[in-house]
Chains A and B, each alone.
Chain A
Amino acid sequence: MSSESLPLADSPPPVAALGAAPKRRVLSDTVYSVLLITPAMILILIFALIPLAYAINVSFRFADLTSPRGVAEFVGLENYHFALRDTFFWSSVLRTLNFAVFAVAIEMVLGVAIAFLLHDIKWLKGLARSLIILPLAASPFAVGLIWRYMYHPEFGVFNYLISRIGLPEQNWLGNSDLAMASVIAFDVWQWTPFVALIALAGLQSLPKEPFEAAQLDGASRWRVLRTLTFPMLRPVLTLVLVLRTIDAVRLYDAVVSLTGGGPGTTTEVVTFYLYRLGLRFFRLDQASAMSLLFLYATVVFTGLVLRRFMREMGERTRAKN
């Protein structure tokens, strides 16, 4: 018997030999992929694109809900003109940036440090990870209310602790010099675990070989950190930075639960100002224009950072190949 007539041991028997008809493809790949993303697209359309289109429409109209005219005639770019000159809006933008820069910077530093600690500890690793997730699992508004009591000038735990070490008690949320710092501290407490978890996942996915080679070459711990760990972690850290920045500039629930924008307007961030303008003063037109400007700034920032990130990733992949 020639070798050609012998079936190979690894090859499956031909379909026809089993007596079954070959499977017919009912859907093409394109149709199948379109079908898969359709439910998500419908949800996005209903909950994001239609409200966005409505906001764009309202931003070009006169829409004062306290006036009998309601959403009325087309006024061109007047609302945008107002938004660009509204000092309250720009002050709230500055406060938001101030918050985002400090909160995200502290979260990144602390989060990465915690990730290194969790990566290195030898025992109770699972328990430590579970405990660190707790702030993330809690509702920001509910935890904000608890923190409000912790910040209380008379009954709060923070004043109790600092009085025990002989420092003067503070009005954490009522003092305009401390209010924003107190909101930042709350945000750092809640969101540092997120940075730590993602950085930890990044650390655990790093290949071991370069580190073993560096150890054999006698590289110091600092040098390994500077030339190996951080460059390899960079994509992960960039992603966390983008996610946290977007989330930080959308800050709302912490402000509502802790300070309500006060004292005065010290902690009135953009989202809270837009809520006040649109849903308390019912100037939907101006609030829509401002929120679209805010959306524009966020989209451009995210787009630029992600563009650079993707370019770096592409260059890295090309270099590997």
Chain B
Amino acid sequence: MTLSEAWDRMFWMLMLIIFVGLLWMRFVQDTLACEGPGLIVAVTIGIVFFATGWRSAAAQKRRAAAEAAAAREREA
């Protein structure tokens, strides 16, 4: 993952954390009456989102490197 991709992913992770947090505050907090679990759930979902993106970017990079190596071998 390049720096700009990581930054982009982090930005959307932050937006997702805020969105989940707001949903928690609006719909769940009244029944549970606590903010802590909401924060944990929101951050966890954000981290999962970031990690998934990181893994898929790494896999894509590996695939591209393998394809490039195969192409070089064919040329040789």
Query: Which A residues have a C-beta under 8 Å from some C-beta of B?
Result: 76-77, 80-81, 84-85, 293, 296, 299-300, 303
Contact = CB atoms under 8 A, between A and B. Distances in A.
Contacts of B11: 303
A76 B35 contact: yes
A73 to B, nearest CB: 17
A139 B67 CA distance: 59
Contacts of B19: 300
Given A85-B26, A296-B15, 12 more contacts: A77-B35, A80-B22, A80-B25, A81-B25, A81-B29, A84-B22, A293-B22, A296-B18, A299-B15, A300-B19, A303-B11, A303-B15
Interface residues of B, number: 10
B interface SS class: helix
Contacts of A300: 15, 19
| For the complex of A and B, 5 pairs with smallest distance between CB atoms | A84-B26, A300-B15, A84-B25, A81-B25, A77-B35
Nearest to B29: A81
Nearest to B27: A84
Contacts of B35: 76-77
Nearest to A300: B15
Interface in B27-54: 29, 35
Nearest to B11: A303
A85 B25 CA distance: 10
A162 to B, nearest CB: 45
20 contacts: A76-B35, A77-B25, A77-B35, A80-B22, A80-B25, A81-B25, A81-B29, A84-B22, A84-B25, A84-B26, A85-B26, A293-B22, A296-B15, A296-B18, A299-B15, A300-B15, A300-B19, A303-B11, A303-B12, A303-B15
A293 B19 CA distance: 10
A303 B9 CA distance: 12
B21 to A, nearest CB: 8
Nearest to B15: A300
Contacts of B18: 296
